[in-house]
A and B are shown apart, each in its own frame.
Chain A
Amino acid sequence: MSQLLPYLGVASLLLVVSALWARQLFLTRKSRIELIVSQKREPTSGSSASHRDHGERIFDLGDWDFVSRNAPSEIQEMFLRERAILAISWLRRTRARISLVMRAHVAAVGQIDDLHLATELKLALSYLVVLTLCDLLIVWIWLRGPVRTRKMVGRTLRTVAWLRGAFEQLMARVSAEI
């Protein structure tokens, strides 16, 4: 057992450093992050409302306040059930979209000459963080419902927004190189 201690120590240290790095990354970017993550959709009419975020709509507490004040308990349960279904569906889509962008990035990154290793590592770390967060949120929502998970979702939205911003910057560099 004592032989494993140094390895455990190094692993714990790496984990703490990664966590601190990720935290620092999100905190410094936080002020510049727009909470609204625009959708990939390109409607024919280009209506203004289409650029709003579905996540914000799903987790809007105003609806829950209204339902909890004005509807009987069975409708309140129905509301929470419906919102949980929507929230899980939205998280699955977000996860799939991020994975798609990451795959596209990995495919394109081979074409860059001046690859910034630190940026790529940050990106990879953030990608893993977002995927883990999405998975945890799905389980959390399934267990506790969408209303109680509102704060966690807010953080995920900010992380996802940052990740998308970082992807866009990198993808712009890729396009410039090509």
Chain B
Amino acid sequence: MKKKMNSLSRKIVFLITAVTLVSFLLIFNLFEKINKEAFYNIETEKAKLILSTIEPLIALNIYLNLNNRVEELTKQLITNPNILAVKVLQKNKIISEIKALEFESNVNDSFIVKNAIYQPNSKKEIGTLILTYSNKNYKELVDRYTTLLIKVLILFVIFFLIFSLYVKRLLSPLRKIAKLVRGYSPDQNINIPFDNQNNEIGFISHALNNMQQSITKYSEQQQNINKYLEEKVEEKTKELRHQLYTNALTGLPNRRSLLHDINYYENGALLIINIDDFKEINDFFGHSVGDNILISFAQKLSEIITKEHESTLVHLAGDEFALFFLQKPAKKEFINFINSLLKNIEKIIFTHENNELTIRVTIGATYQAIEALEKADIALKSAKKQGKDFLIYDETLNVEQQYKNNMEWTKKLNWAIENDKIQPFFQPIYDNKTNRIVSAECLIRLLDKDNKIISPYYFLTIAKKSKLYSKLTKIMIQKSCQYFEHLDCDFSINLSVEDILDIDIVNYISKSILQYNVANKIILELLETEEIENYEEVSSFIFEMKSLGCRIAIDDFGSGYSNFEYLLKLNIDYIKIDGSLIKNLETDKNTLIVVETIVDFAQKLNIKVIAEYVHNEGVYNKVKQLGIDRSQGFYLAEPRNALPLP
């Protein structure tokens, strides 16, 4: 909708007219009031003047008792058209009264003036002279004055109409300029008129013309810049698109490109080629060599893949390549191709500093186009697990079911955490000399919706994968510390290396120990194998915990390559011998020797030894015979949600 223009000229004229009109009306009213008063005063003064003129004569005649002359004088007075009546009183007695013919008709438009009559040459009052004076003159004056003002007002209106037209005419060039400029765009040249006028409009026109030139110039520059930028953007877009769909190292199409092809070609087949143990090449020769091998491998793969089948070689990531058949070949042909590919790859020899390197690959393949990448990946993982060179995806791989199980357990875990269904169960540890409970191991249990106790075997691995593990650790720490806060009994909690490496968990352990004041009761059990692999971090953790007053135990000692040197350095309080050694103690002589060695070693270092998995009397007796300090197992007591303390 077109916006209605607010005319400046109209506004100026309107404002001037309004201000002047208001001023005029104010002055008009003021003048009218003043003038009316003045006119009235004039008439009053005239009447008074007549009175004061005639009064001495009348006074003299009254004084001289010439009342007939008084009568004459009043008759003379009444000849004045403005005098409607004259009355002369002597001592309140009318001695003369005369009224004009117009008296009755004009009496309402008149005023009365009185004058005292004084005796001549004396101040003695001898009578009163009353004059009824007509307002006719006053009205005539007011009428004339009003007529004059109305005429002035009309003239004023005419003058402002002319003035308004003149202002409109003066400013009309501005409208023309505005109309011209309204449709202006930098790519057109408009000629703004009135440039030659030597006034404000001329200046504006001149300035607009100059501005137009500047804008045109600037616009040209901008267009050049834009063109340049567009070219650059296009170039960069191409580059980015290339980067987006290409692996930077090998220059082959990348995963995104593959996904695009998979979605586009509905009847394709895919195989993923994974270089076995490529990490070792990187670790041994360095990443630079690894990258060169990948580049070289990509080239050689391209050469190997014949053009018989229309396919795309893709570099998925790191040591993983893929080959996508746009049109799937016959299955037999597909399998033959894979076998042939494997043989050819085995033949490839890479050289580095006079060293010859060969690689092996595992291939996961799928003959199904839908979710081809995922299926080929499953097949690859299955092949790896099964130690096969290649596997073609098959529903029987049951991998999907495993994923489903994992998902369900993750869900259950989340539910259990939210509903406080993660509980510590306590398995007593007995002193072999006193046969009394001296400690308890806190073991994690999950209660399902039916409050059925679930073993950690089912959910602990999944917890680690789904990153719920730290939450479980925290729950265990908090609940265990709270349970033993007021019990006179030691307790042990299992910690994995993930816990120790997690600063948040370490801080939480410290905080809980201090909060529940259980530093002298708690024993932190660490896995022997994990310790050794992350010695520095574990050592630092043990130092920190021992400074709080905690004790440290090595769990499952003897399950791996037991490193006594590390054991010495870590300042351990307890060794818990791995259950696989204890449970065979009765039957396996070698196991017995190992356990005897561990016990002997520990005793010499004043480290207490605990035997777990004590599942029958025989084992229990053997443990006692070997001088193991403490025992734990189903033979002695199962894990319960409460400790059977006396």
Query: Is chain B a partner of chain A in the same complex?
Result: no
Interface residues of A (CB under 8 A from B): none
Interface residues of B (CB under 8 A from A): none
